[in-house]
Amino acid sequence: MNDEPPNARSNPDHERTRNAETDGGLDPGIGRNSPSEPEPTETPPFGEPMDVPPEYRQEESVVEHRSLRSRIVRGLREDKLALFGAVVVVGFVLVAVFAPYVAPYDPGATFGFMQSPDSYSQADVDGDGSIERVWHPLGTDSFGYDVLSRIIFGARVSLAVALATVLVAFTIGTAIGLAAGFYGGWIDSVLMRYVDFQWAFPEIILGVAIIAFAGGRGVENVVIAIGIAYIDDFARLIRGEVLSLREEEYVTAARAIGMSNRRIMTKEILPNAVAPLIVQATLMIPLAILAEAGLSFLGLGVSPTTPTWGLLLSDGRQFISRAWWISVMPGIAIMVVVLAFNTLGDGLRDIFDVSDSEVEQR
């Protein structure tokens, strides 16, 4: 379309030398290239302008575009505490995924019961009939299970439940918040009244109620129960974001080109609200871990036999005076992973420069 005929004020070399701030080197009047418009007649008094001499040409330097991922990587490199949190989180996840290879013993294998940490027992671990001397770095519990192995396998369930829970809350909460914030009016009123209603209930009580309603324990029910209990946090957050993003001029621009509401929500608004959502999700995971532990502690956990951190904690409580490690060791695991997620979340918040008020932290 625009073949850029040689023009007194614009030639390719001339343009290349300008840096990022150049205005595209623009031929100030593009339409002048059309045959109907004469070329500008002015001639500079000193003849043709000089191209920028080669030795003065500069590389065009463009401001770097930082994608979300590159911002995270860069930010973590600078924020050592957050990086530490991230490493611990990744470590726990890896341990959970590879639990069968990492755990010293099968979580169902029994040894001498209530052995203190750093003790040994005699057992046939590899099933070859011979009795070996086995080490229990964190001791054994009241059933004779190895506490370390139980904690490692418990990480699987606890982390998986937490992630699934946050995913449920994230999805539903985002949908609610997006619709409420974008449409406003009665949709907003109805959805947000529901969120307020839910907000007024303590999570754990709501969780208990939902599990009771859903017909008892089980992984799905726990995930749904805790997930639903956290919807309000995401819904409020995203609604606030949407309310401000809705007023952005690029959203008006999208409406001006006739974009549908759905596309505006998913393509224009949501991508710009992702950063606070990621922060919120990171900060919600430890809460979900704690909630799951709480439900297990109350006997409403995944199942009475599947090891989860909450269940381990709960099982040990009656022996706390005689065998403190049964409860304390999973407690420490919970504490470490919660702290790790929190430092990571705080770090991400700083990286994205999301203000505290935007992400509700409780």
Partner 1 sequence: MSRSTDSAPAPAETESTSAETTASETDVGTSASGEANADATDAEAPLLAARNISKYYDQSEGFLDDLIGDARPVRAVDGVDLEVRRGETLAVVGESGCGKSTLGRTLLNLESVTGGHIEYRGEDITGLSGSAMQPYRRDLQMVFQDPLASLNPRQTVGEILKAPMEVHGIGESDEERTERVRELLGLVGLKEGHLDRYPRQFSGGQQQRVGVARALTLSPELIVADEPVSALDVSVQAQILDLLDDLQTELDLALCFVTHDLSVVRHVADRVAVMYLGEIIETAPVEELFANPRHPYTKSLLSAVPRIDPAARTDRTVLEGTVPSPADPPSGCRFHTRCPAVIPPAEWAGTQAEFKSAFTFRNRVLGEEIDPEAIRTRLSAESAATDNDAVATRITERFVPDTDAQLPANARKAIENAAARLANGETEAAKTTVTEAFPSPCEDETPRDTPTEGGHVACHRVDPEMPGDPDVL
Partner 2 sequence: MSDPLLEVEDLRTQFPTERGVVEAVDGVSLRIEPGEIVGLVGESGSGKSVLAESIIGIVEEPGEIVGGDIRLRGESLRDKSEAELAALRGGELAMVFQDPMNSLNPTLPVGEQIAETVRLHQGVGESVRLPAEVKRKILGVAKNSEAWRRAITMLEAVEIPEPESRATDYPHQFSGGMRQRAMIAMALSCEPDLLITDEPTTALDVTIQAQILGELKGLKEAFDTSILMITHDLAVVAETCDRVNVMYAGEIVEKASAQQLFANPQHPYTQGLLASTPRLEDPNQEIDPISGTVPELIDIPYACHFAPRCPEAKRECYDIEPEFRPVGEGIERSTEPSNPATAAADGEGRRGDRSVSNTEDRPEEHVAACLRRGREADRL
Chain contacts with partner 2 (rule: CB under 8 A)? 8-10, 14, 17-23, 25-28, 44-46, 49-50, 52-53, 55-56, 58, 61
Orientation angle between helical segments 274-297 and 147-183, nearest 10 degrees: 130
Stretch of residues binding partner 1 (CB under 8 A), selected from 138-146, 215-223, 245-253, 300-308: 245-253
Residue 65 as a binder of partner 1 (CB under 8 A): the answer is yes
The residue from 250, 266, 299, 332 that contacts partner 1 (CB under 8 A) is 250
The residue from 55, 128, 215, 256 that contacts partner 1 (CB under 8 A) is 256
CB of 244 to partner 1, least distance (A): 12
Residue 122 as a binder of partner 1 (CB under 8 A): the answer is no
Residue 196 as a binder of partner 1 (CB under 8 A): the answer is no
Residue 332 as a binder of partner 1 (CB under 8 A): the answer is no
Give the one entry of partner 1, partner 2, none that residue 2 binds, where binding means its C-beta sits below a cut-off of 5 to 8 angstroms depending on kind: partner 1
Map residues 263-292 to x or -, x wherever contact with partner 1 holds by CB under 8 A: x---xx--xx--------------------
Residue 5 as a binder of partner 1 (CB under 8 A): the answer is no
Stretch of residues binding partner 1 (CB under 8 A), selected from 14-22, 115-123, 212-220, 233-241: 14-22
Nearer of residues 30 and 335 to partner 1, judged by Cβ: 30
Give the one entry of partner 2, partner 1, none that residue 263 binds, where binding means its C-beta sits below a cut-off of 5 to 8 angstroms depending on kind: partner 1
The residue from 6, 23, 127, 130 that contacts partner 1 (CB under 8 A) is 23
Nearer of residues 140 and 174 to partner 1, judged by Cβ: 174
Nearest to 39 by CA among 2, 3, 9, 17: 9
The residue from 83, 187, 259, 298 that contacts partner 1 (CB under 8 A) is 259
Single-letter amino acid code for the residue at 124: D
Nearer of residues 23 and 128 to partner 1, judged by Cβ: 23
CA angle 338, 341, 345 (to 5 degrees): 135
Residue 26 as a binder of partner 1 (CB under 8 A): the answer is yes
Nearest to 165 by CA among 95, 222, 232, 215: 222
Residue 325 main-chain phi, psi, to 5 deg: -65, -20
Residue 1 as a binder of partner 1 (CB under 8 A): the answer is yes
Determine if residue 122 is left, alpha or beta; phi over 0 gives left, psi from -120 to 50 gives alpha, anything else beta.
Answer: beta
CB of 51 to partner 2, least distance (A): 9
Residue 261 as a binder of partner 1 (CB under 8 A): the answer is yes
Give the one entry of partner 1, partner 2, none that residue 94 binds, where binding means its C-beta sits below a cut-off of 5 to 8 angstroms depending on kind: none
Nearer of residues 48 and 132 to partner 2, judged by Cβ: 48
Could you tell me if 226 and 165 are in contact, meaning their C-beta atoms sit under 8 angstroms apart? yes
CB-CB neighbours of 75 under 10 Å: 18
Residue 254 as a binder of partner 1 (CB under 8 A): the answer is yes
CB of 1 to partner 2, least distance (A): 20
The CA-atom distances, in angstroms, between 144 and each of 132, 134, 139, 241, 323 are: 16, 13, 9, 51, 12
* d(C-alpha 173, C-alpha 314), whole Å: 31
Give the one entry of partner 2, partner 1, none that residue 100 binds, where binding means its C-beta sits below a cut-off of 5 to 8 angstroms depending on kind: none
Nearest to 103 by CA among 128, 130, 137, 143: 137
Q: Which spans of this chain sit near partner 1 (rule: CB under 8 A)?
A: 1-2, 20-32, 34, 37, 62-63, 65, 248-250, 252-261, 263, 267-268, 271-272
